[in-house]
Amino acid sequence: MNRKRTHQQIAVMAATALLLTACNLGHPTINGGKTGQPIMDGWTFEMAGEYWLPSVMADKKPQTPEEVANLTEVNVQVKLPVHEGNPMPHDGVTYRQASTGGYITFHMTPIEGDTLNPVGTVEMLLKEDMYWERDTVRDVRVRSYGKGIFSTYAINRERQRGEPERSRESVAIIPAIISVYPGGDSLLISRGNMLYDAYVAE
């Protein structure tokens, strides 16, 4: 009798486990669901850091180079060096990451009419393993915080019916924070999580 009841209990438990597993299909959140930064099925922690970096930047609104270089919240883990003397990147020079072939080229020409006072624009292709490989990004704007720390963003323009062209603009934060080393010959880029090899001026 006890043996029969035990077999029935095991069968019920197995059926319940199977049902719960089936019910979870279609719900891809696997980590961080209660933190406000869920990681979806198939994502790496680097992907999660890259995805959530713009929202953390927007929420925390960091102003000092130290704040930008040390953004930390759940999956977003930015740890970049800051440097006295405010090193700047070389204008028109391509910096390349040897291990991936990723690159970034700065065009240090101020842009008028932008209240964030960008110091120029960049063209970049970021290709580190464990992140999403991005298509080449052109004309991304660069904001300087001092001490060699820069953030990147783009301006989205929308035209509403009955309104002038480019009547609405919004800032789209690009998940790439840059630390330039003294002398400007190399730099690091954080995309929201683990750091990879430096980018070196060609």
Looking at the structure of the chain, the number of domains it has is 1
Decide if 2 is inside a domain.
no
Model confidence over 158-170: pLDDT tens digits?
766 666 665 567 7
Q: How far apart are CA 191 and CA 56, in angstroms?
A: 12
Domain that holds residue 161: 30-201
Decide if 16 is inside a domain.
no
**Whether residue 11 has pLDDT greater than 90:** no
Q: How far apart are CA 192 and CA 75, in angstroms?
A: 8
Measured CA distances, 141 to 29, 50, 135, 160, 174 (Å): 33, 18, 16, 24, 9
Q: How far apart are CA 88 and CA 67, in angstroms?
A: 19
Model confidence over 181-197: pLDDT tens digits?
999 999 999 988 888 89
Decide if 38 is inside a domain.
yes
Model confidence over 20-63: pLDDT tens digits?
333 334 444 455 455 566 666 677 778 888 888 998 999 899 99
